[in-house]
């Protein structure tokens, strides 16, 4: 009966989170319609529509607040990462703001077809909907309202980007591993206190504030050392059938990386050296698994590898607790590394004019 009751409460929490995501999406669309109506409010009919939309925005905002409170108060499942076997980790105080580092490094000596096609000399400056990719990533975190300090590795003030908020720059590093190290060190310099931080990359321009909010919400109560986003293959195929992402087959399904990470600052510092091999082999699932030992490889070959297996390996290999966050957003898994992926992103924005990247982001928003 105890597990049945917990499962029922978990189902209620999942329904609340799903409903909140729907409300956030509906609110974004209503706000855009309100902005359009405000620009043409020159008739009685438009005035009535303007009043209606203003009332809808207020209603949806109130509903989102109610759902957020209900989610915060709802119990977590005993099958969430916080209840997995292993020593109970030290829980940090609940946070409202999260410092973030964004890796935007590049190799100036490496020929890159994407840069040649886009006519830029830096990958994070590849334009999407008239703005550099990195701009969209920063704005997504600002839209969420839950970002603190922002560190960008691989760019500088000389690039002349205006994000509408202050950012900290770190010079370009020789590798992604070095970039992550530099980002973690800079966040420690900014604030020496241990806390939950977020890491991401500059090449996921379709990320939105809604996706950031969903990811952070799913990491609560922040009692694991590290969380990472993963996207189911079915979700990616629906959104981007030709993305050619690499998937890790597990008992629960096939997943690709969502390029969002949340964890304790101290955990990030602790695992940097051990993570080097995994980062260097990030394009090959098999090579990453080889680093985890023969037992993992055998379970992988015979399709018996599960999420719980991976969590156990994370604890044994890195000495930390962790948990994946399944993201129902293909946009989180659509990074832009190659020209064909850039074309897919541009085509997606044509088919989805409601996406915030299509002018729905206010350059002057300050969070």
How confident is the model over 85-98, as pLDDT tens digits?
A: 444 445 445 678 99
Read off the pLDDT of each residue in 70-82 and give the average, rounded to a whole number: 51
Q: Tell me what percent of the residues of the chain surpass a pLDDT of 70.
A: 72
Please give the distance of CA 109 from its chain centroid, rounded to a whole number.
29
Residue 60, pLDDT score: 75
Check residues 313 and 11 and name the one with the higher pLDDT.
Answer: 313
Mean pLDDT of 170-185: 88
Query: How many residues in the chain?
Result: 367
| More confident position, 289 or 215 | 215
Rounded average pLDDT over 274-284? 54
Distances 240 to 18, 233, 244, 283, 365 between C-alpha atoms, Å: 22, 10, 9, 19, 30
pLDDT at 82 over 50: no
Which pair of structure tokens corresponds to residue 128?
């999407």
The overall average pLDDT reported for the chain is: 79
Q: For position 276, what pLDDT does the model report?
A: 55
Specify the pLDDT at position 250: 83
- Which residue, 362, 275, 256, 252, is CA-closest to 322? 275
Instruction: Inform me whether the pLDDT recorded for 220 exceeds 80.
Output: yes
Q: Please tell me whether the overall predicted TM-score, pTM, comes out greater than 0.85 for this model.
A: no
Neighbours of 189 (CB within 10 A): 10
Band of the pLDDT at 320, cuts 50, 70, 90? Answer: confident
- Looking at the DSSP bridge assignments, the partners of residue 183 are none
């Amino acid at each position: 009966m105890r597990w049945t009751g917990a499962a029922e409460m978990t189902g209620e929490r999942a329904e609340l989170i799903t409903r909140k995501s729907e409300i956030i999406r509906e609110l974004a669309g209503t706000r855009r319609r309100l902005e359009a109506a405000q620009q043409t409010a020159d008739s009685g009919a438009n005035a009535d529509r303007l009043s209606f939309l203003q009332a809808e925005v207020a209603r949806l905002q109130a509903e989102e607040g109610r759902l957020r409170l209900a989610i915060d108060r709802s119990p977590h499942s005993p099958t969430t990462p916080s209840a997995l076997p292993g020593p109970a980790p030290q829980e940090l105080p609940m946070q409202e703001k999260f410092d973030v580092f964004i890796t935007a490094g590049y190799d100036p000596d490496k020929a890159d077809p994407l840069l040649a096609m886009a006519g830029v000399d830096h990958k994070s400056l590849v334009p999407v909907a008239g703005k550099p990719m990195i701009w969209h990533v920063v704005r997504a975190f600002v839209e969420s309202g839950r970002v603190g300090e922002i560190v960008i590795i691989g760019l500088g003030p000389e690039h002349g980007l205006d994000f509408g908020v202050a950012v900290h720059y770190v010079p370009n590093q020789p590798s992604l591993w070095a970039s992550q190290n530099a980002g973690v060190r800079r966040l420690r310099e900014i604030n020496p206190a241990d806390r939950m931080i977020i890491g991401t990359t500059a090449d996921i321009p379709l990320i939105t504030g809604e996706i950031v909010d969903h990811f952070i919400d799913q990491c609560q109560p922040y009692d694991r050392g590290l969380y990472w986003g993963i996207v189911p293959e079915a979700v990616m195929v629906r959104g981007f059938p030709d993305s050619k992402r690499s998937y890790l087959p597990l008992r629960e399904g096939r997943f690709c990386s969502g390029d969002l990470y949340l964890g304790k600052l101290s955990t990030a510092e602790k695992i940097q050296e051990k993570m080097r091999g995994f980062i260097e082999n990030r394009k090959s699932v098999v090579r990453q698994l080889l680093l985890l030992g023969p037992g993992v490889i055998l379970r992988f070959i015979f399709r018996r590898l599960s999420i719980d297996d991976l969590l156990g390996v994370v604890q044994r290999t890195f000495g930390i607790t962790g948990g994946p966050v399944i993201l129902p957003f293909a946009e989180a898994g659509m990074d832009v590394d190659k020209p064909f992926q850039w074309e897919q992103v541009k085509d997606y924005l044509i088919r989805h004019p409601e996406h915030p990247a299509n002018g729905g982001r206010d350059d002057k928003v300050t969070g």
